[in-house]
């Protein structure tokens, strides 16, 4: 009996020592990604298989896990992801780097571990029921991405701010964030209160570069505010607004959305349009008012206000009053293409309702597709305080900055 007790105590001591070793060797600080990419980061890139449509490189992934857990937004995403399939635990990874890629809607993790950790990790994943082939431990990647493409990815990433991870969407990647051309590279940085994503993609050579930034102010109580140099084609403004009014936004402006009436055949936005109060815009607005006429203005509820700095146009008196009395926040970043800010807590429920509208799908298919994409991107961020984005181009690269603020 005494020998049995001693054996049990020794076994407990060994298990405690192993567990202590595993925890002690988990790094506290992230190594992150810096730009230009260094030799070690280029070596990680070289392990990505050519079959990958998009991929993420996470140096010292176990340390990043602690940062993700400290942020309420990313913590919720971790819980959701682990509910779909088991994820590598920090004690399994130690100081290892992780490469994650998707191909044909399948996600794969590649990690290089020491023999002892590799044995424990395989045992844990087998017991946890991880899908076969989802985790590659100490396994060589398939045919890697061609060297020339890797060089182009690394060059495109130059100028990105340091981050905790690097995400890449290749030309074959479709329907994924960020909403810029492909290929796209993104630096992702996580703090307890924010997630900041900076993305870059090759610029469209046909785009006209605006030298000065947009004048952007975000009304505090608007659900969504968007300023742009020219309206995106996906908005299909001519389908949901009077033709005369859409011409006012031909050279850009601001749309502040305060609500959406989803009880009509086609969802009716409760919004305000603001334009720079330049002589040219005043003449254009006068022409629109004459074309609509006083009777048309009474029927549609069209109201206009010249504040001196802005020409404000609205078909909804309540939204117009909100806008005129509303305070405003300055944009976080300058932008010369577009800038937007939204309240996901109020926006996500509206997107869920609008997405199910069959008439919108027929009348404005591009707008409906944009609604569905936005719902896909922010559907899990309903508990976030705000999401702000800024898009710019210098003629060589298109850059998108996004910050997701936690409550």
- pLDDT digit string (tens) for 117-129? 788 778 777 776 6
Q: Look at residue 224 in the predicted model and tell me its pLDDT.
A: 93
The Cα 398–Cα 169 span in angstroms is 14
Domain count, the chain: 2
The Cα 227–Cα 335 span in angstroms is 9
Same domain, 52 and 77: yes
Determine, yes or no, domain membership for 47: yes
Residue 338 and residue 229 in contact, taking contact as beta carbons nearer than 8 Å: yes
Residue 374 and residue 368 in contact, taking contact as beta carbons nearer than 8 Å: no
Q: Look at residue 130 in the predicted model and tell me its pLDDT.
A: 64
Q: Indicate the residue among 202, 232, 248 that finishes a domain.
A: 202
Average pLDDT in the chain = 82
The Cα 150–Cα 168 span in angstroms is 11
Pairing of strands 106-111, 135-137: parallel
Answer yes or no: is pLDDT of 335 > 50: yes
Determine, yes or no, domain membership for 212: no
Determine, yes or no, domain membership for 6: no
Same domain, 158 and 232: no
Highest mean pLDDT among 29-43, 66-80, 188-202, 232-246: 188-202
Q: Which of 125-139, 160-174, 214-228 has the lowest mean pLDDT?
A: 125-139
Q: Which of 114-123, 195-204, 227-236, 332-341 has the lowest mean pLDDT?
A: 227-236
Determine, yes or no, domain membership for 406: no
Same domain, 179 and 222: no
Same domain, 253 and 186: no
Same domain, 148 and 194: yes
Pairing of strands 165-169, 184-190: antiparallel
Q: Report the interhelical angle of 61-70 vs 72-84 (nearest 10°).
A: 120
Q: Indicate the residue among 153, 175, 202 that finishes a domain.
A: 202
Same domain, 191 and 278: no
Q: Which domain holds residue 262?
A: 217-397
Same domain, 198 and 72: yes
Same domain, 184 and 242: no
Answer yes or no: is pLDDT of 305 > 70: yes
Same domain, 175 and 232: no
Same domain, 227 and 354: yes
The Cα 343–Cα 214 span in angstroms is 21
Q: Count Cβ atoms below 10 Å from residue 319 Cβ, excluding itself.
A: 21
Determine, yes or no, domain membership for 322: yes
Determine, yes or no, domain membership for 153: yes
The Cα 385–Cα 350 span in angstroms is 16
Q: Look at residue 241 in the predicted model and tell me its pLDDT.
A: 52
Same domain, 157 and 43: yes
Q: Indicate the residue among 202, 234, 252 that finishes a domain.
A: 202
Determine, yes or no, domain membership for 99: yes
User: Which of the pair, 365 or 342, is modelled with greater confidence?
Assistant: 342
Q: Look at residue 131 in the predicted model and tell me its pLDDT.
A: 62
Answer yes or no: is pLDDT of 400 > 90: yes
Determine, yes or no, domain membership for 20: no
Q: Look at residue 307 in the predicted model and tell me its pLDDT.
A: 80
Is this model's pTM higher than 0.95 or not? no
Same domain, 222 and 310: yes
């Amino acid at each position: 009996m005494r020998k049995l007790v001693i054996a049990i105590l020794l076994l407990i001591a060994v298990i405690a020592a192993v567990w202590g070793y595993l925890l002690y060797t988990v790094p506290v600080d992230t190594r992150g990604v810096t730009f230009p990419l260094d030799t070690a980061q280029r070596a990680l890139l070289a392990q990505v298989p050519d079959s990958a449509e998009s991929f993420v490189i996470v140096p010292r992934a176990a340390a990043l896990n602690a940062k993700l857990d400290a942020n309420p937004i990313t913590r919720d995403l971790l819980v959701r992801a682990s509910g779909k399939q088991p994820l590598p635990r920090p004690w399994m990874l130690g100081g290892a780097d992780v490469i994650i890629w998707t191909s044909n809607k399948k996600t794969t993790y590649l990690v290089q571990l020491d023999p002892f950790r590799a044995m424990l990790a395989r045992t844990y994943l087998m017991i946890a029921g991880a899908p076969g082939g989802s985790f590659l431990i100490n396994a060589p990647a398939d045919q890697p991405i061609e060297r020339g493409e890797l060089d182009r990815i690394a060059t495109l990433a130059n100028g990105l701010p340091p981050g905790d991870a690097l995400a890449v969407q290749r030309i074959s990647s479709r329907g994924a964030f960020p909403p810029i051309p492909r290929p796209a590279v993104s630096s992702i940085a996580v703090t307890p209160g924010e997630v900041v994503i900076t993305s870059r993609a090759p610029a469209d050579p046909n785009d006209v570069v605006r030298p000065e930034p947009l004048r952007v102010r975000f009304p505090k109580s608007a659900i969504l505010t968007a300023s742009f140099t020219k309206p995106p084609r996906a908005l299909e403004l001519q389908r949901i607004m009077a033709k005369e009014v859409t011409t006012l936004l031909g050279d850009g402006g601001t749309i502040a959305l305060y609500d959406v009436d989803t009880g009509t055949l086609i969802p009716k936005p409760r919004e305000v349009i603001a334009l720079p109060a330049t002589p040219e815009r005043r003449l254009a607005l006068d022409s629109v008012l004459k074309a609509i006429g006083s009777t048309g203005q009474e029927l549609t509820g069209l109201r206009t206000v010249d504040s001196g700095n802005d020409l404000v146009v609205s078909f909804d008196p309540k939204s117009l009053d909100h806008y005129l009395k509303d305070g405003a926040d300055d944009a976080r970043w300058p932008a010369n293409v577009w800038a937007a800010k939204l309240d996901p807590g109020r926006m996500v429920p509206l997107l869920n309702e609008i997405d199910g509208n069959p008439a919108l799908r027929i009348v404005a298919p591009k707008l409906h597709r944009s609604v569905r994409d936005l719902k896909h991107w922010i559907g899990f961020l309903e508990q976030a305080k705000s999401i702000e984005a800024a898009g710019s181009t210098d003629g060589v690269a298109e850059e998108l900055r996004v910050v997701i603020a936690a409550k």
